[in-house]
Every structure is written in structure tokens, then in C-alpha cells.
Amino acid sequence: MQMKPKSPLSSWTSLTACALAVALLLDAALSLNGLVPDQAALFPSAVASLEAVATNVLPSGMALAGFASGIVLAMAVIMLPMHQIYRSREARLLQERERLAAQNARLVHQAASDGLLGIANRREFERVLKLEWRRAARERQPLSLLMIDIDCFKRFNDTYGHQAGDTCLRGVADVLRSAAARPGDMVARYGGEEMVVLMPHTSMEGAMRMAERIHAMLAERALPFAASPVAQHVTVSIGVSSMLPVRNGNRSVLVQQADEGLYAAKEAGRNRTAVVPNLRLIGHDEKPQTWTHRAQGT
């Protein structure tokens, strides 16, 4: 035998009755012992009857318990929505904080990166060089640098156009990123078509192996350059420097020595690596004492 569902009117009546009962009990509890004046009570006659019953029948302890129960009920009714509002606001604030942190990270990355090549820019390179120089001096470890320049890049632009030149720069930057795959290595754009690879904890031998790897990978990639006087593909000249930094030493010497090596590699015919062991001022008529290594397979 199925029961008939209650009508909405019946449910509403039950809820209204419950609400009135709760209000009556709360009002009576607050009216006990004169906490709420009689004239301010919601139901004066009912409150008076309940007070008489509480005075004649209930002990004072039970009256106090009833009062406390009313206070707890009132606090629960008030505090529960407030707690929900607080949690919702806290969640929104946390989401906003995460959004701002992600946006700040993007801005920091943009400020430290070259917009065209996606590698570090010169400012970021100089910042990291300062940190790595101090770390190498503290740990007594060598620090090495490659200074890399694309051979005859102006002729490349004149032959193929500047858009193709940008594509060439990106291709060389991709090769450098692939070659310098260790977590501590840094590839950066130094200026124009010049790029650098900074290698902590790397000796001169390790830096030379890195240079050879870059020459080999460029030859394998074979970016077309038919007008090049060096090869039929894009090539680079590389200057190498390696030092054991000292705490108060001049870190710019590492860059200057790599730049001297780059100059020597170009003077020796390009598409090769050169090392200038001792940095010194070179006069117009002087030739630096260098060790050069021509790239294989080109």
C-alpha cells in the first residue's frame, strides 16, 4: 500500500511550526532571569508561562543549561553562514595569489629572455656570470665560456633577407641548446649574431669538446648558405676561455679572453675554434699566440 506524498502546503506548515517553536524556545531562554525585558519578548504570555514552569518545576541548573543551549543555537545559526563565506573568500584569494604568482613568473622570464631566440639575453648572462664566478671561486672549480659568432652573417642577410636571417639565428640557438644540455650550462645571446655558452665546473678540455660538438651538430644540420666563402652551410667561429676564478678577481677577463679567441678564429679563416691562453693587449701589427682547431668535415 503506497503512501501519498505530502503536499507542499503540508511541508511548509511543518517548517513554519518548527521555526516558531525554535523562536519561542530561544526567546524564553533569553528572557529567563531578566536578560530580555518582558515587554521586548516576542511571545510575552508564552514566556511568562515558561518562566513559571522553570521557576516552580525546573532547578536553576537546568534553567541555566537551557539558556546556554539557546546561546549555542544562536551562535551556530549565525556562525555557520559566516564560516562558509570566509572559506569561499579564502579560496578566491588563494586562486588570485596563484594567478599573480604565475603572471610574475612569466614577466621575470620575459625580462631575462631574448624575444627572438628564446634564450637568455645579455643582462641575464651577466647576472648569472656574476653568481657562477662567486660559486666557482668558493668551490675552487673551473669556469669556462664559449664566444660564438655566425660566419659572414651580413652576407647571409644580404643574400636571403632578414626574415631568413632570423630563422638562421633561431636554428643556431637551437643547436647550442641541444649541445649544452647539462642543467648548469647557460646559452645566451650576447649581441647581434654573437652568442655565448657559460659552463660551470668545466675545464678547458671540456670546453673544447663542447666547441667541437657545436661544429659537428651545425654541419649535420646543414642550414643552407650557398654564398658562404667557408662552406655550403652555416658555420660559426668560436673563442674559448677557461679560468679558475678567485674571489676578488675580475670576471670580465673571462669574457675578454673568449672574445680574443673568437677574433683569432676569424683571422685564421673562420669555421674553427681558437684559444688565447694569456689575455694581453694586441697592437695593430701584432698577431696573438693562439691555438686554433678547424672544424672537422667542412
Question: Nearest CA to 189 among 172, 213, 212, 211?
Answer: 172
- Collapse the DSSP code of 190 into the 3-class scheme (helix H, G, I; strand E, B; otherwise coil) and give the result: strand
Give dist(CA 116, CA 189) in Å, integer: 10
Tell me the pairing of strands 272-275 and 236-243: parallel
**Among all residues, which ones are annotated catalytic?**
193
Is residue 147 within 8 Å of 262, Cβ to Cβ? yes
CA distance 146 to 139: 21
For residue 112, the tally of other CB atoms under 10 A from its CB is: 16
Question: What single-letter DSSP state applies at residue 282?
Answer: -
Q: Torsion angle of alpha carbons 264, 268, 274, 276, nearest 10°?
A: -40
Which three-class secondary structure state does DSSP give residue 74?
helix
**CA-to-CA distance for 232 and 151, rounded, in angstroms?**
12
Q: CA nearest 174: which of 128, 124, 221?
A: 221
Cβ atoms 122, 191 nearer than 8 A: yes
Q: At what angle do helices 204-221 and 162-179 cross, to 10 degrees?
A: 130
* Three-state DSSP state, 36: coil
